[in-house]
Structure formats: structure tokens, C-alpha cells
Homo-oligomer: A and B are copies of this chain.
Amino acid sequence: MSQKLEQLSKNQQIVLNLIEKAKGPLKAYSILYNVQKKGIKAPLQVYRALEKLIKIGKIHKIESKNAFIACNNSECEISNATAFSICDNCEHVKEIKNAKLSKYLSNFHDNSGMKFKKYNLEFFGLCKNCKLKQ
């Protein structure tokens, strides 16, 4: 199994494939269940792949849901500036691509003397579909 610098390992690729074809964020143990037929047997194998995929920006963790979603933003390879919209009703999650927002937040600083290198923003509300139904 050849593996160049920028390539993913076997387990990493298996986990990424699953997350990329999913319609929404997946939980770690749901991933585990779904990749057992591929030979991944233990939680750690999943968590290690997730850790790497997050590090290289292929996926993100939705912190409020303990779930993992494929990156939808070619610009955030470093994964240090993420924003999501999350529907409170159907749990639909979407990564927000908005240059103005990311510029605003990347340049933001408070009065504490702290330099921010990374941020994660989660918006909650009702998606268009769920709004109509109510």
C-alpha cells in the first residue's frame, strides 16, 4: 500500500469516504459501525483517523453535536476558521462559506491582548424547510 506525503492512509481514507458521502454529520460510533465491514474494528481506529482528517482540514467536528462533517470549503484546508449553520429541528448542518464573515472574524480582537489563531462558530435556528412546516 503505497503512501505519498499528501496521501491518506487506509483507515483515514475509509473514514473520509464514509463522511464525504453522508448527507450530514456522523457520530464516531456510527462511523465505527459503518466501517466494520471494511476491517476497522475498534473506536480508537476511528478516532485516530478523525483526528488526522481534522488536522488536515478534510473534516470538521461539530462541537455542539459531537459529530463530524466533511469540509465544504476549499479554502479552509487548515481548518482554523470554521462556521456552521445548524437546524434545531431537523439537525441539518451546513458549513458557511462567507468571505466577509471569515475576514471579520479573522481580524477580530478583543481588549485582552490575546491574538486569535483559530475560531469556530455555530449558528442555530430553523432551516427553510422546517420554518415552512411550522
Contacts and interface: CB of A to CB of B under 8 A. Distances in A.
Interface of A: 63-64, 85, 87-88, 94, 96, 98, 101, 104-105, 108, 110, 112-128, 131
B127 A114 contact: yes
Contacts of A94: 112
A125 B116 contact: yes
A120 B121 contact: yes
A72 to B, nearest CB: 12
Contacts of A113: 127-128, 131
B116 A128 contact: no
A114 to B, nearest CB: 5
A112 B124 contact: no
A108 to B, nearest CB: 6
A113 B101 CA distance: 17
A127 to B, nearest CB: 5
B123 A119 contact: yes
Contact of A131 (B63, B96, B115, B125): B115
Contacts of A85: 110, 112, 114, 116
Given A85-B110, A110-B96, A124 B119 contact: yes
15 contacts: A85-B114, A96-B110, A98-B110, A105-B121, A112-B128, A113-B127, A114-B126, A115-B125, A116-B124, A117-B124, A117-B126, A118-B125, A119-B124, A121-B121, A121-B122
